[in-house]
Chain A
Amino acid sequence: MPNINLPNFPYVDGATPNGEQLTEQLYDPTAVNGSYETMNGGLDSVNADVAWTKIQQNQIQEETFTSAKATAGTANLDYFPEQWFGNIAVGLTPTNGTPAKFFQPVPGANSTFYLPWDGYVIFTWSVVWGGEQWDTNLPAYMLLFIDDQYDVANASQRFTTRSLFLPSSTGPYNHWAELKNRHWNGHFTKYLTKGWHTAGLNLLTNGQAKTPNVPSNYVQNPSDLGIPAQPSTAGGVPLLNRPKNRQIRVFVRSFKHIAFRGIE
């Protein structure tokens, strides 16, 4: 590499090259590989010698073909939906259109990054979450946002629902965390253009629904160990006006992306 082949060369004794002929050897941008001007950007893949078939990894600068970043968190994060999502009433099937301001970005599962070129970005994440939830129809969603947008067509949303159950006719409620917590190792691939981007997981749940504000057996204090279980009329402790999604806890989480330079 390259294959410079000078014109007017070699010189021959007895002949007298003129100034133009000599100059053409040194600099002639019109002649491909015909002068030393080839050094001005001509030492490239197009001009590579056929014997040069490989570029070694260490000859390539970082972030030439790939780019990546990771973030994570281990401290438990507690969200109390009545305070955090008091304006939200969402159902089992998510839809587009909920304003981004109603979502809560999860620290440790969000990232802002600069993409140095257009390319394909694979987002991957791991997250565990669950909570005190009393209704199978009122989930707590975790959704992927990219550049402050989500789209249910991206299929990047999962949810938890009811977690507390009375498995028999007696005894306390059990918190079935081992079954009903979500362990989501998700991924999503998108083609993004060069520039700054944001991406990460956001939480959304119903913070409005509550148990009746009158004595009932609808939801009982999970710490009430009355055996046999008793309705409120017999000494049980009904939880009045209690949020059906009382608490959502996000456990360990991480969020990564790896980008591959490419054409769409």
Chain B
Amino acid sequence: MPEIQYPYLEEGTTFDASSLNTRLQTVTDGLNGLTEVSVQRGAFSDQHLSNQGLLAGEDFPASGVAGTTRYSRNISGNHSYTVKYTTWGGNGTYPLVGDTDRNLITDGVVSLEINFGASTIQLGMGNTDKIAGLLVLLNVHLLRTSLVNEEQQTDFGATQGAMTCIQYTTDNVNWFTLRKTERFQWNRTVRGEGQVAINPSQRGKMTSDDQDDVYCNQDISTRTIILPSDLPDPNLAIRGIRAATAVFGAATGSAQTIYLRESNFTVIPLHAGS
């Protein structure tokens, strides 16, 4: 920080323009010379700085749905999916064909997707959006699975499950999977006493035969940061981020289906580093 010197004008001493100029110029130069390294530790608070802070969400559209925000989407209703997972990382071919083996998580009203439309974003502090990365959180409640005609899964082995992942698009047509965000959960269930295979006269007979535990009810969570290095081209102009899901596993059946319920999705764009 500059040290400003302003010697007193002494009583009885004649001063001229030059002596005033020297003093005032010293003060002016000292103030103008305040640089970023001149500011002392802890000098700034929220009273001095932008109310946007670390968030870099200028291109994030406001959400008009109650309970959601510019950075988050939530689904509470039951919804089903039949698209089957085929390949780790997706079955598409970047950049021409997107991954078709997974679906957007949606209940038809709210989708776990944040779309920037024409206002694309580029990751990396070197780009104009100044987004170092995206903090992404995803929770998905796997309710149950089914194999045929929407019947509950009757094979109580863990032969079927759900996978979730985070995807991005550059054209709103083809969606590509961020491999490190893929998760899955088996549909783990327990057979109850109502099954024919168990003698109903034996101990533990329940009042009805619906007491099999055919619901999985497990939560699949994802916590990650999407950085430029996670993209095939770190300067990609991204038009949307979304959460997707697919049927996972080698179970057989004509209509493999997974049922998801409560789901939460958050994408926070952060300034950071240089």
Contacts and interface: CB of A to CB of B under 8 A. Distances in A.
B57 interface: yes
A170 B188 CA distance: 22
A218 B35 CA distance: 79
Contact of A260 (B21, B25, B55, B66): B55
B53 A66 contact: yes
Interface in B21-50: 21, 24-25, 27-28, 31-32, 34-36, 38-46, 48-50
Interface stretch (B116-124, B190-198, B229-237, B238-246): B190-198
Contacts of B102: none
B21 to A, nearest CB: 4
Given A59-B44, A136-B211, A45 B49 contact: yes
A61 B193 contact: no
B40 A231 contact: no
A114 interface: no
Contacts, number: 238
A10 B17 contact: yes
B54 to A, nearest CB: 5
B213 A58 contact: no
30 contacts: A1-B36, A11-B17, A13-B16, A36-B27, A38-B31, A43-B34, A45-B48, A49-B35, A66-B53, A120-B71, A122-B268, A136-B213, A153-B67, A155-B141, A155-B262, A157-B262, A167-B191, A169-B199, A176-B213, A183-B218, A187-B266, A189-B69, A189-B71, A189-B266, A191-B69, A191-B70, A260-B268, A261-B51, A261-B54, A263-B52
Interface of A: 1-4, 6, 9-13, 15, 25, 36, 38-39, 43-45, 49, 51-56, 58-61, 63-66, 116-120, 122, 124, 135-136, 151-162, 165-170, 173, 176, 179-180, 182-191, 217-218, 220, 224, 226, 228-231, 236, 260-264
